[in-house]
Amino acid sequence: MLDDPQTIRHYQRLTDALSDFQSRGYRYDELRMYLNGYMAALRNAYALDSYLVNRLEEQANRFLLDMVAGNAPEVQPEPERGY
């Protein structure tokens, strides 16, 4: 389980995007490519420690496989804030 706040935020952004792309009709290969690109960007930007990036990647891969198999939990989008 992820416990670092910044890692959790990346996980939420990533899973929200994957869910959104799947609902728009993107295939597994395209979702996998997006996930790989996101992880590569995190690694190249040194945004997180490498250990945290690896943990995030494991969790995101598990989410993607569950999502494609139809076992993913329903992702709740954040409510819009009126300014």
Instruction: Compute φ and ψ for 57, nearest 5 degrees.
Output: -65, -40
- Give the mean model confidence (pLDDT) for residues 33-37: 94
Would you mind telling me the total number of residues written for the chain in this entry? 83
Highest mean pLDDT among 4-8, 55-59, 71-75: 55-59
User: Which pLDDT score, from 0 to 100, does residue 30 have?
Assistant: 93
User: Which pLDDT score, from 0 to 100, does residue 68 have?
Assistant: 80
